[in-house]
Amino acid sequence: MELKRVVVTGLGAITPIGNNVPEFWENLVNGVSGAGPITHFDASLFKTQFACEVKNFDATQYMDRKEARKMDLYTQYAIAVAKEAVTDSGLDVEKEDLNKIGVIFGAGIGGITTFEEEIGNYYTNKDKGPRFNPFFIPKMISDIAAGQISILYGFHGPNYATCSACATSTNAIADAFNLIRLGKANIIVGGGAEAAITPGGVGGFSAMHAISSRNDSPETASRPFSASRDGFVMGEGGGCLILEELEHAKARGAKIYAELVGAGMSADAYHLTASHPEGLGAKLVMKNALEDAEMQPEEVDYINVHGTSTPVGDISESKAIKEVFGEQAFKLNISSTKSMTGHLLGAAGAVEAIASILAIKNGIVPPTINFTEGDNDAEIDYNLNFTFGQAQKREVNVALSNTFGFGGHNACVIFKKYAE
């Protein structure tokens, strides 16, 4: 069976540095940090009091107030980015076979805001008997964003959520890729959303010593590959890609951003939260993606790394890149866009895939900001081009995007400049 080709025809993003794709890209290229004091709740008693929040989001720009009340914030983000991506794709829903359009849209955590509010209300008022909002469960569950998107447009194709922690939305993109090239769908809306900047989210990650506590300088706290890195910065938002079978896209005259040519998955099988110190899972996932794309390491121009700014993770990923890419590791560009957006958890993969696609389209590699000094005690080779400080212009024909999640879940996708 000959596999079909898959292209990207639409993009949507809501991030801490922009509430649509053009704003996101402009601020990304200009090295703007999205970090600042937490406003979603009073964090004054918390060890970490800052995060990368989405700014000025108004759900009623995307849905009526009644519908918004039925959705957790993460689902509101999902609807918003799906609407931007569908509009961007130029898709005329009325002319399409809706049975061949699917939605694969994930969340690593899901409706934690709703969960905390409802359980808090229960314990506050339990003497009056158990009282729960009838929308509690459908607002909270992590599959509901995919369901809400399909309901919005009437898409009857494959529909489900992925959940693999921080690899969630890359897994969604990979699944969409595989279903389309096998002929199971013409179009899939793929991506992820997350809204976990809550007392439980921040408190839980802080208790694990996973997030930075640099309250005196939030905007510089996410500093991948720097010796002074002390954990990731929590982010929120969503990313969405319209993935489409090539001939279908051409037949309707769709613009094509890039071609998705390979996807890889692997497991560290090592630790609940820490990546393997030698990057075994990271090496395997990149090799699997390259094999799937039928590409050699020398063909890759840019890697959007997982690059969370954690002491162990940054070391293991840089080791893996050197081993997989050999001499090419010193010729390609590397950057961590989490230095600007923070870590969007389950939405990170989709947002970083968009960054990778736009690097191809625009011939610009976004920077890794906030680098202070090299880590002499760590095995990070600073001869690698981490694109520190400012964006770099270069022709990008092939871009690879890594995402690694708690539990040892690894996912990687490869995009290529589209050519007939």
The rounded distance, in Å, linking the Cα atoms of 134 and 404 is 35
Cα 185 to Cα 97, 248, 253, distances in angstroms: 10, 10, 18
Summary count for the chain: helices (H), strands (E): 13, 14
According to DSSP, residue 276 is labeled P
| Catalytic positions | 166
Tell how far CA 105 is from the center of its chain: 11
The rounded distance, in Å, linking the Cα atoms of 401 and 414 is 6
Q: Where are the alpha helices (DSSP H) in 216-337?
A: 246-251, 280-293, 311-325
Burial class for 21, CB neighbours closer than 10 Å (0-12, 13-18, 19+): buried
- Residue 56, sorted as left (phi over 0), alpha (psi -120 to 50) or beta, turns out to be left
- Residue 361's identity, in one-letter code, is K
The rounded distance, in Å, linking the Cα atoms of 125 and 242 is 44
Are the C-beta atoms of residues 386 and 227 closer than 8 Å to each other?
Answer: no
According to DSSP, residue 3 is labeled P
Beta strands per DSSP E along 47-114: 50-51, 101-106
Give, to the nearest 10 degrees, the angle between helix 280-293 and helix 311-325: 40
Give, to the nearest 10 degrees, the angle between helix 21-29 and helix 348-362: 70
The residue whose two tokens read 């922690």 is 165
Q: Which two tokens stand for residue 93?
A: 């829903």
Are the C-beta atoms of residues 173 and 191 closer than 8 Å to each other?
Answer: yes
- Residue 345's identity, in one-letter code, is L
Q: Where are the alpha helices (DSSP H) in 252-347?
A: 280-293, 311-325, 338-341
Q: Which two tokens stand for residue 226?
A: 């720097």
